Amino acid sequence: MDYKPLLTLLAIVNPLAIIPFFIHYTHGFTREQRRRTIWVASFSAFVVIATSALLGLQILQFFSISLASFQVGGGMLLLTSALSMLNAQPAEAKSNADEINDAARRSLDGASIAVVPLTIPLLTGPATMSTVVIYAERAKHFPQLAALVVYGVVIGLATALCFTLAEPIARVLGRTGINVMTRLMGLILAALAVEVMSEGLVKLFPILAHA
């Protein structure tokens, strides 16, 4: 079984880097509200990954987008995310002011906060979706495609674990420790992004394969 997609997804989603956001958004929550937020966010992350794996290629075909072009564009998006991580920022887009204010107004509704902004865009945004679609195209048999869905389950469980242990992890690692982990993930993601882009460029410009 190829574990590269799982490593890539773990590097992009990186729930450790989202712990400070989780603590911020769930400040003042009861134990039950926080537990509900954790499970809704984890399940939503799984749904995004599974949907991208099963329907992503059909969406590309609907818009007549070649996979090679998508690989180059997706690779650039991954590289941008990696650069953000090297600066100790989450891979996916940050929430804007409107989302933060809206989350504050809905602070008693853990499910709403769990989906937006925790799951989208903080955990699983465009970079995650692009990655899953690219690996879905490489799946030659159904078991390989099913593996991507299983990896979505793993990401969901990893998210649930990190959020459940958010406060102990934040105390042990501290902001500096989380930043170091984020930068290491960013370095791995940058290498994977270059690999994805190079594969797409060779498909678009076959002469590069003989350069």
What pLDDT is attached to residue 165? 96
DSSP at 131: H
- In this structure, are residues 186 and 82 in contact, taking their beta carbons and an 8 Å threshold? yes
Amino acid sitting at position 208: L
**Rounded (10°) angle between helices 67-86 and 166-204:** 140
Give me the mean pLDDT over the 206-210 stretch. 80
Q: What element of type H or E holds 57?
A: helix 31-62
What pLDDT is attached to residue 97? 55
Give the tens place of pLDDT for each residue, 93-122: 555 555 555 555 555 455 678 998 899 889
Buried b (16+ CB within 10 A) or exposed e, 39-51: bbbbbbbbebbbe
Give me the mean pLDDT over the 178-189 stretch. 90
What pLDDT is attached to residue 211? 63
Give me the mean pLDDT over the 36-52 stretch. 96
**How sure is the predictor about 209, in pLDDT bands with cuts at 50, 70 and 90?**
confident
**How sure is the predictor about 24, in pLDDT bands with cuts at 50, 70 and 90?**
confident
**How sure is the predictor about 91, in pLDDT bands with cuts at 50, 70 and 90?**
confident
Q: Which residues, other chains included, contact 127 with Cβ-Cβ below 8 Å and sequence gap of 6+?
A: 12, 74, 77, 78, 80, 81, 91, 92
pLDDT exceeds cutoff 60 at 43 = yes
Which two three-digit tokens encode residue 191? 């290498």
**How sure is the predictor about 90, in pLDDT bands with cuts at 50, 70 and 90?**
confident
Residue scoring higher pLDDT (98 or 151)? 151
What pLDDT is attached to residue 108? 47
What pLDDT is attached to residue 157? 98
pLDDT exceeds cutoff 90 at 123 = yes
Q: Please state which of the ranges 64-68, 85-89, 108-112, 116-120 shows the lowest mean pLDDT.
A: 108-112
Q: Please state which of the ranges 2-6, 111-115, 122-126 shows the lowest mean pLDDT.
A: 111-115
Residues 89 and 75: their CA atoms lie apart, in Å, by 18
